[in-house]
Amino acid sequence: MAERRRPPAPRPRRGQITELGPALTLRDVITVAAVVACVLLAGLAVFQGLLVAGRPLGRFAWGGQNEVLPTGLRVGSVVSIVLYGFFALLLLTAAGLLTVLPDGFVQVAMWVLTGYFLLGVGMNAASRSRSERLVMTPVVLLLAVCFLLLAVG
């Protein structure tokens, strides 16, 4: 009796990682990066809202020199909240989860924001506030990585 040969396994598609069980696509990585970044931005928006409301958390932001932010920095926190919302819109568009903004604009914006967050890593790491260095530096680094993944993807 002749032995039946199994057909060869299909070759993995480009962007798939197959050694770890079910195929993980580049699209999956991009989606996870977008969700992680959106969650971080939402958390930062809540944090900035608490600063605007006068909560004594200033040691974590704006150089850490004021426990309760003065009016000028509170206005800056309001602007930050608006920007975080726009950044999330860009992220979700870059991940293909929304189609609100033009692709060319989003592609350029993702690279610009990657650079912005990489600069933010350095600025937070150089802060005089120990609290800001310990908390915000890793948060901004994770945001930079997420934005980089979406810019490359």
Render pLDDT for 70-94 as a digit per residue (tens, 0 to 9). 999 999 999 999 999 999 999 999 9
Q: What is the pLDDT of residue 68?
A: 96
The CA-atom distances, in angstroms, between 130 and each of 64, 66, 133, 136 are 8, 13, 5, 10
* pLDDT confidence band for 19 (50 / 70 / 90): low
> Which of 17, 33, 27, 31 minimizes the C-alpha distance to 148?
33
Give the Cα separation of 27 and 128 in Å (integer). Answer: 39
Q: Which DSSP category does 45 fall into? A: H
Q: What is the pLDDT of residue 15?
A: 56
pLDDT tens figures, 112-152: 999 999 999 999 999 999 999 999 999 999 999 999 999 99
pTM over 0.75: yes
The average confidence (pLDDT) of the chain is 90
| C-alpha 4, offset from chain centre | 51
Q: Annotate 119-145 with DSSP letters as a single string.
A: HHHHHHHT-S-HHHHHHHHHHHHHHHH
* pLDDT confidence band for 18 (50 / 70 / 90): low
Q: Where are the domains of the chain?
A: 26-152
